[in-house]
Amino acid sequence: MGKYSTLAHRLLFEIAVNHDYRCATMYPQHKLLDANALPGADGVTNPHSDPINYHQVVIGSDVWIGCAAMILNGVRVGNGAIIGAGSVVAKDVPPYAIVVGNPARIIKYRFDAETIAALQRIKWWNWPEEQIVEAAPLLYGDIQQFIDAFDVPQPIEEPDEIMETINDLREKNYHISYFIPDFEIEPSAAVWPRVVYTFLNTYHAEDRAALIMAIPPHDQCGDCLNIILNAIAEHGEQAPLILTHETNGDLPFSIPALRASSDYITTREHISSLAVDYASDTNVRIRYGLDQGTLLFPSLK
């Protein structure tokens, strides 16, 4: 979830409760079969961890969700959106859209396309709190005056080395998954080990797939890197491409690299909300590190 959003009471977020209607039966598999017998389960006992279920809902900043709304798994709610009371949201909600009903449908947008684009550039919710307080009279005033005051030309983002690497790989038809690992979390509870191991078990050296990880300085994550290096070594020459780039600036990731990638893989950590925000005006697909199968790493065939 982003910042400065307003959530009413009796909200329901439905996570990982889908049934595969494409099979002869939709009756839960774990009721009939041992977990080890489930197709592709590899011993997974969680009945909701199959590759038809999304395990995440992404809510942007400055979002208003009315009471008794239901949001289904895999939905991404854009910045500034409004979800009417009692709505059932089964599909993504664009930034600044107003949706109502069951299933929720767009009835209008809060502003015209030009104003929405300006607000997406300004991203006032990422300002320091004191700056937001200072700007409050304009935040609650005329929208055009706010735009005129703060939609100033932004410095052009200079391509960094990792962005150039990503661009080179994409020219060779590589699928790029960008990931900010949650190294600050104990590995047994973190998302990153699963992402790394799943990537290594999904692809091979001949596949045009690359996992790009934004990491802190090595002296802050040496133990985690050793685990990753050992996992790569176990796969030997068959290991798919995993690259890291070190971050030292205000953000623990590269905005140009993120925007140049095919996918962005989120974790449970708040930095994922910020990265999703910066990817919102691109074609980068958002995936969740605890999803299964092709929901996490797509087939390249």
Within 8 A by CB and 6+ apart from 297, the residues are 177, 198, 199, 202, 203, 209
Tell me if residue 19 is catalytic. Answer: yes
Count of residues in the chain: 301
Residue 289's contacts (CB-CB under 8 Å, 6 or more residues apart) are 179, 191, 192, 194, 195, 265, 266, 267, 296
Dig out the tokens for 134 from the structure: 């200072």
* DSSP sequence for 168-200: HHHHTT-EEEEE---TTS-TTT-SHHHHHHHHH
Q: How far apart are CA 207 and CA 90, in angstroms?
A: 33
Q: Which of 9, 19, 175, 204 is catalytic?
A: 19
Kindly calculate the radius of gyration of the chain based on its CA atoms and give it in whole angstroms: 21
User: Do 121 and 114 contact (CB within 8 A), yes or no?
Assistant: no
Establish how many alpha carbons lie within 13 A of residue 211's alpha carbon, considering only the half-sphere containing its beta carbon.
31
Active site (catalytic) residues:
19
